[in-house]
Amino acid sequence: MSAPKLKVLVSGAGIAGSCLAYWLGRARLNISIAVVERSPVPRVTGQSVDIRGPAIEIIKRMRLEEAIRSRTTTEEGTRMVKSSGKVFAEFGLGDAFTADYEILRADLSQVFLDATEGMSNVRYIYGDSIKSLEQTEKDVHVSFSGGSKDTFDLVVAADGSASKTRSMILDEQVLKDSYNFLGQYLAFFSIPSRPTDPKMWQWYNAPKGLCIMTRPHRNPSTRGAYLCITTPAHGRQDPAVDDVMEKGTEDKKRVLHKYFDNVGWEAKRVVEGMDHADDFYMSRAAQVKLGKWTNKRALVIGDAAFATFGVGTSLAIESAYVLAGELSKIRSGDDIPQALEKYEEVFRPLYAKMEDLMPGFPQIAFPQTTWALRLRDSALWFASKTKLHKLLPDDAEVDWKLPDYDWVDR
């Protein structure tokens, strides 16, 4: 039997969307894939992310391990520092903080984009987005913000934790309480590097949940800078910060100056670098937890489905692989809803092992008071000296068998 002819629309050209396009493009399907991205050009910003667990095997099956290693940030470990710059705890590569595969989000997306470049059945549409969609038994009718309309056999939302497509796919009951603000705001940007900068993730905390981090880039002329503001509890907003989140870049920078000027360590260097940064980005930290990811001929994947800390990138890669694998088994377009149900059945067990945050996170890592900060610092010092953290389970040893599909080379 010949492969069914399918039209697929993916919303979002980030890690999940571009990885899915790659696997669908390789699957034994007569398929055309359109990836629509709100940004007018491929995004060139984004913080450092890591790849762990079964996702490592998937990038190997993609034959992209070397391409990814060639773009890693060169980070060699993590140092916790005092206001003076004195290091009080250090963790090496592959320990609790720095993974073996650390790469900037935009660089990883670009690796996946490059991998689909020669595929005639994959195309990217920049500067547009889904305005509305309507499902029927046989297809999905989509209206785009740019004014065009089209019909698809399948629509996939891979447009991030703040996905605008998610509410078009899933019903209100499923969406209820699914987006959970974790009480943290994070700004990312690049600053000029210095010859004395170590190839380490440097992490400095101040009371009231403030944190400054810098991390190495593969580009030796720049360094990643991060400013974090953490409130005392999940769901707790900071009115001054929240007020500027929907405003422009300069408004956000102005508020960050109020919080971080003279806060210690390299605050002066970082906020001055922020003023001149052209890749500034700021977001709310959130966890997305949904009881259902699929609905007939549409679904959500990646951060749009299960945003979380630490393993979000790995989950995005893993979900794209499994979704393409289950879709590759269909005999006709009528089988799509059943394939989506099967995908959820296969992937839920892995997600269930990785969905929960460490108790008290992120507040426990970004304390509000001086005494709580001293307590946390003492715990980190003890862990770094005794290496007790090495007794914790390894992410690469997740008890879940990666599905094999006969068209995927191993």
Whether residue 406 is predicted with pLDDT greater than 80 in this model: the reply is yes
Please report which helix (H) or strand (E) contains residue 215, including its range. strand 210-216
Instruction: Give Cα 14 distance to the centre of its chain.
Output: 9
Whether residue 391 is predicted with pLDDT greater than 70 in this model: the reply is no
Whether residue 285 is predicted with pLDDT greater than 60 in this model: the reply is yes
Confidence category of residue 390, pLDDT binned at 50, 70, 90: low
List of E strands, 128-265:
130-135, 140-144, 149-152, 154-157, 179-192, 201-206, 210-216, 222-230
- 53 or 397, higher pLDDT: 53
Q: Please provide the average confidence, as pLDDT, over all residues in the chain.
A: 93
Whether residue 96 is predicted with pLDDT greater than 60 in this model: the reply is yes
Mean pLDDT in residue range 388-398? 59
Please report which helix (H) or strand (E) contains residue 9, including its range. strand 5-11
| pLDDT given at position 291 | 95
Percent of the chain with pLDDT strictly greater than 90: 86
Amino acid, res. 48: S
Cα 176 from Cα 184, distance rounded (Å):
21
- Please write the tens of the pLDDT for every residue from 185-239: 999 999 999 999 999 999 999 999 999 999 999 999 999 999 999 999 999 999 9
- Please write the tens of the pLDDT for every residue from 337-350: 999 999 999 999 99
| pLDDT given at position 167 | 97
Q: Could you tell me whether strands 122-126 and 30-37 are parallel, antiparallel, or unpaired per DSSP bridges?
A: parallel
| pLDDT given at position 4 | 67
Instruction: Give pTM, 2 decimals.
Output: 0.92
Q: Burial level of 25, CB count in 10 A (0-12/13-18/19+)?
A: buried
| pLDDT given at position 354 | 85
DSSP state string for 81-119: E-TT--EEEEEETTSSSS-S-EEEHHHHHHHHHHHHTT-
Cα 80 from Cα 90, distance rounded (Å):
6
Whether residue 358 is predicted with pLDDT greater than 90 in this model: the reply is no
Q: What are phi and psi of 65, to 5 degrees?
A: -60, -45
- Please write the tens of the pLDDT for every residue from 263-277: 999 999 999 999 999
